[in-house]
Amino acid sequence: MIIAPGSTLLFIGDSITDCGRSRPVGESAHSGLGNGYVSLVDSYLKMKHGASRIRVQNTGIGGNTVRDLSARWDEDVFDLEPDWVSVMIGINDVWRQFDSFLEVDNHVRLPEYRSTLNSLVGMTKEKCQGVVVMSPFFAEPNVEDPMRSLMDEYGASAMDIARKHDDIFV
């Protein structure tokens, strides 16, 4: 396993990461990680690599965009000094363009998403042992659906950023 024993793995993102986590920082004790994928990753690590004592933290916040992550990155990532960071963000960046299409100030268009995520990943790579970039997704089987199509573009950008920084992409 590439995560060293005793390491801290921090997850940050939107509601898909948050999933009812404890505040201010979700930890694995007493279901503090929420009831989503972060908790599943923690359970897997404990089951398969329990002796490694990998600490899992969750700082996801529902409704966030990459713009919101950027505003809180120092406090919710760097101040916690994790060894590894996993970031999944993008559904709200896309969704706001559909559910609030007249509120253009709330829209995070693809160039801003790409630039901001690239900056966050680049800064983090310098301070941590590794970064995991997870693709945002929209569970719509019709690839012709406008929101699904745009979401796929954001996911492709996340993959490009992970590859550019030689990070793990999920």
Query: Which distant-in-sequence residues (6+ apart) come within 8 Å of 55 by Cβ?
Result: 6, 7, 8, 9, 27, 28
Give domain status of residue 3, yes or no. no
The string of pLDDT tens digits covering residues 97-154 is 999 878 888 899 999 999 999 999 999 999 999 999 999 999 999 999 999 999 999 9
Give domain status of residue 1, yes or no. no
**Does the structure show a pLDDT above 80 at 58?**
yes
CATH number at residue 114: 3.40.50.1110
> Taking the model in full, what pTM does it have?
0.95
User: DSSP letter string over 53-106?
Assistant: --EEEE---TT--HHHHHHHHHHHTGGG--SEEEEE--HHHHHHHHHTTT-GGG
* pLDDT at residue number 150: 96
Give domain status of residue 2, yes or no. no
The string of pLDDT tens digits covering residues 3-18 is 999 999 999 999 999 9
pLDDT class for 86, splitting at 50, 70, 90? Answer: very high
**Does the structure show a pLDDT above 90 at 50?**
no
- Per-chain mean pLDDT for the chain: 95
Number of domains within the chain? 1
Give domain status of residue 37, yes or no. yes
